[in-house]
Amino acid sequence: MKFTAKVTIGLKEGMLDPEARAIQHALANIGFATEGLSTARVFTITLEAEDRAAAEAQVEQMCERLLANPVIHRYEVEVLA
Amino acid sequence: MKFTAKVTIGLKEGMLDPEARAIQHALANIGFATEGLSTARVFTITLEAEDRAAAEAQVEQMCERLLANPVIHRYEVEVLA
pLDDT digits (tens, 9 = 90+) for B31-54: 999 999 999 999 999 999 999 999
Query: DSSP code of B41?
Result: E
Q: Provide φ and ψ at B18, rounded to 5°.
A: -60, -35
Contact A34 B46 (CB under 8 A): yes
Q: In this model, does residue A81 exceed pLDDT 90?
A: no
List CB contacts of A72: < 8 A, sequence separation 6 or more.
A11, A12, A15
Domains of chain B: 2-79 (3.30.1280.10)
Is residue B81 very low, low, confident or very high in pLDDT (cuts 50, 70, 90)? confident
- N-to-C CA span, chain A: 10
A38 CA to chain B: closest CA distance, Å?
A: 5
Q: Give residue ranges of B with CB < 8 Å to any A CB.
A: 2, 8, 10, 20, 23, 26-27, 30, 32-48, 58, 61-62, 65-67
d(CA A13, CA B26): 28
The 10s digit of each residue's pLDDT in A16-73 is 999 999 999 999 999 999 999 999 999 999 999 999 999 999 999 999 999 999 999 9
d(CA B5, CA B14): 27
Q: CA-nearest residue of chain A to B20?
A: A43
Pick from A10, A33, A45: CB nearest B37: A45
Pick from A37, A42, A67: CB nearest B40: A42
Q: Which is nearest to A7 in space by CA: A65, A52, A56, A48?
A: A56
d(CA A53, CA A48): 12
Contact between A71 and A9 (Cβ < 8 Å): no
d(CA B70, CA B63): 8
